Structure 1
């Protein structure tokens, strides 16, 4: 079995290197980002493609199969025999990238028999790194540049998640301006349980990270997502002692399914 520690040694440098390539393109807004539209009408840019090439090149050395949003998806008849794999979103939050608000991430997860056991999320615009491993815990590095490419120093500088916070409000991660009817009903129910409910907005997998780090209490995602959107964050949340559960059944999410869509889910403590 591929060791989760080995996963981090492969995935962290891959995510940071991909983030550098993304930021090189992000820093040139007047140049052609080669924006295309995929079959689901979501955007695809030069940054997505370059980040994917870097990550795949790095992870291929492990010998494990890779399921990436921007890669060729093997048929389920082949994938169903993958007991271990990487699930990758090389640029999560492409819409945020195009809007230039900095709220986009690089997501790499290690999945064993459908369960995410290792996760890395890198935020290139702020040099922030989140990572987690089953049995070892979840961590955050506020600025990876202080480690100067020293992996040991990087790990030592990490803060364990969740971090201590002092706040009075019960914080829900959701869109302030585009709440679905289901999400609004979920929040209305919380307001009956908690005196002060605050809505916190965030892009990409940062929404899951907000719960993992302790700056939010719950994140209901009652809208479509794909496995690569959540796998890394799911692993980090689980490593932090929290849950990502199917909103209908309360069961943990599973990965490398025949249908790569996630059910509606809730991230909570």
Structure 2
């Protein structure tokens, strides 16, 4: 199945969603609150509509699990071998603040684990993408995608490796969700490794910083959902990094009965 799914198609879907997001971003938009009090805008809805429509058209046999879509009962989902896990607008708080640190996240999950991921930051014109067996990549200054095939795309992209070493341990933390447990974890790293530099970032860009080696660790001791992390996990793992649950030390998995993620740590192999 994976070899029949082309990165160029998924990137094109993410950029089409990004266009819808930017139309709202550059307007005077309203902000609603969901039941959990997280923000929702017209951009979330329009991006979801584009992604769901395009993925259903391109891959009618692969179900879509999107933050803004219908969440079917686990009994109906549990036997899905493949599914798309989508966050149409990851970092809505950053979108509302207009700081540009929000993304479109699209992941393909196979038997519980992500095997393909695309993350597109439309304001930053930055694209991250990964595919199992192909690697993890980054492109900056992206306005349009006009490549003949996947091989040409990859030849023009920067190959990512989370294994490069930094002079000091670099931790990345949420710009909007720093918790006391996260601060405690970073203090423990300081005791073990000495001085730690801390970078704040919004949305799935935190995982991407580990994938490209700019950060060594991203501890997340605060709530996230599966669509927040699936694409980023594919990009981290294909770059040689790890996304592990804090309790079991197992890889973060997907299409669970409860779509809430456990606490997790994204890291390079040195930690």
User: How does the TM-score come out when normalised to structure 2?
Assistant: 0.92
Residue 214 of structure 1 and its aligned partner are, at CA, apart by 0.7
Mapping for residues 1-269 of structure 1, pairs under 5 Å: 2-4=1-3, 6-28=5-27, 31=28, 33-61=29-57, 62-63=59-60, 64-145=62-143, 148-150=145-147, 152=149, 153-162=152-161, 167-175=166-174, 179-269=178-268
Residue 148 of structure 1 and its aligned partner are, at CA, apart by 4.9
Distance 1:258 1:174, change over 3 A: same
Which piece of structure 1 moves more, 74-83 or 147-156?
147-156
Q: Distance in 2 between matches of 1:95 and 1:108?
A: 19
| Superposition misfits of 4+ residues, deviation over 3 angstroms | 151-155, 163-167, 175-179
Residue 242 of structure 1 and its aligned partner are, at CA, apart by 0.9
Structure 1 gap ranges (5+)? none
Distance 1:3 1:52, change over 3 A: same
Which piece of structure 1 moves more, 193-202 or 250-259?
193-202
Residue 196 of structure 1 and its aligned partner are, at CA, apart by 2.1
CA contact (8 A) 2:162 2:241 kept: no
CA contact (8 A) 1:120 1:132 kept: yes
Q: Distance in 1 between matches of 2:26 and 2:176?
A: 28
Residue 185 of structure 1 and its aligned partner are, at CA, apart by 1.4
Residue 163 of structure 1 and its aligned partner are, at CA, apart by 7.0
CA deviation map 1:144-169 (0-9, x unaligned): 22x65335454321110027867422
User: How does the TM-score come out when normalised to structure 1?
Assistant: 0.93
Residue 175 of structure 1 and its aligned partner are, at CA, apart by 4.3
Instruction: Report the RMSD for the aligned CA atoms in angstroms.
Output: 1.8
Q: Distance in 2 between matches of 1:81 and 1:163?
A: 33
| Equivalent residues, number | 264
CA contact (8 A) 2:162 2:236 kept: no
